[in-house]
Amino acid sequence: MTTETRVRQSLLEIEQEMRDLSLWQSQPPEPKSFESVEPFCVDTMNAEQWLQWVLIPRMHALLDQNAPLPTRFAITPYFEMAFNGVLTGHGNLMAALQRLDDLLNKED
């Protein structure tokens, strides 16, 4: 199985975990929220919004275009901080995020 296929599966797993935790939103944030220049759009979105509306679509776009995937990638620490004490039962989501990190940081 190619790295691209595994990354796509990982993104789908993250989406499913978000749905299971009722974090998946039906409406995007306001358009202005996407104009942030801060990492993870921390000034305009919460962590799960950034994951759903920024990271996942961008990763799918890279895959669809056969573009190079990021090779220095670590989002799990941000989500550990963002979810600390706020979200219970998020272990499966965190594990899925870590698998994505591991896939994209794997040296071939």
Radius of gyration of the chain from Cα atoms? Answer: 14
Residues 64-89 have a mean pLDDT of 85
Which pLDDT does position 88 carry in this prediction? 64
| Residue corresponding to tokens 């090779």 | 71
Measured distance CA(73)–CA(71) in Å, rounded: 6
Tokens of 69: 């995937």
Q: Give residue limits of the domains in the chain.
A: 3-105
Looking at the chain, list the stretches that DSSP marks H as alpha helix, in order from N- to C-terminal side.
3-20, 47-50, 56-64, 76-83, 91-105
For 4-43, what is each residue's pLDDT tens digit?
A: 999 999 999 999 999 999 999 999 999 999 999 998 999 9
**Banded pLDDT at 85 (limits 50, 70, 90):** low
Domain 3-105, CATH 2.160.10.10 — does that match? no
Per the prediction, the chain carries an average pLDDT of: 91
